[in-house]
Amino acid sequence: MSTLKHIVMWKLLDQAEGADKATNLRLMKDKLLACAQLSPGTLRFEVVTGAEAQAQGLEATYDIVLFSEFTDKAALDAYADHPQHVALKGFIGAIREARQCMDWVS
């Protein structure tokens, strides 16, 4: 069975929204994890910080990454268009320095 993979990586600003990077990183991770069940087609939903990866002795060039899998594009769209996710995008946009995204089916 093929699935749609959705990966997003962010670098955060040192200061934004009245908080430092570490605070915003914790908030962002919590807010992303709260979106894990927004689409019934979500198969996998992981949020990992660069600090967590580095603590495992692994490389991390971004501050936080979302790795998710969906049954199909309609399931990804249901997640992306959900009001809770849409509201989160404003917060993330205000605290991020850079964003990279890639989707594919395999």
Mean local confidence (pLDDT), 45-59: 97
CA distance 62 to 35: 21
**Cα–Cα separations (whole angstroms), residue 64 to 5, 25, 34, 74:** 17, 8, 15, 25
Mean local confidence (pLDDT), 48-65: 97
> H or E stretch including 100?
strand 96-105
Mean local confidence (pLDDT), 64-78: 98
pLDDT score of 80: 97
Strand pairing report for 15-16 and 96-105: unpaired
- What's this model's pTM, rounded to 2 decimal places? 0.94
DSSP annotation of 82: S
Domain boundaries, the chain: 4-105
Confidence of residue 1 (pLDDT cuts 50, 70, 90): confident
Is it true that domain 4-105 has CATH number 3.40.50.620?
no
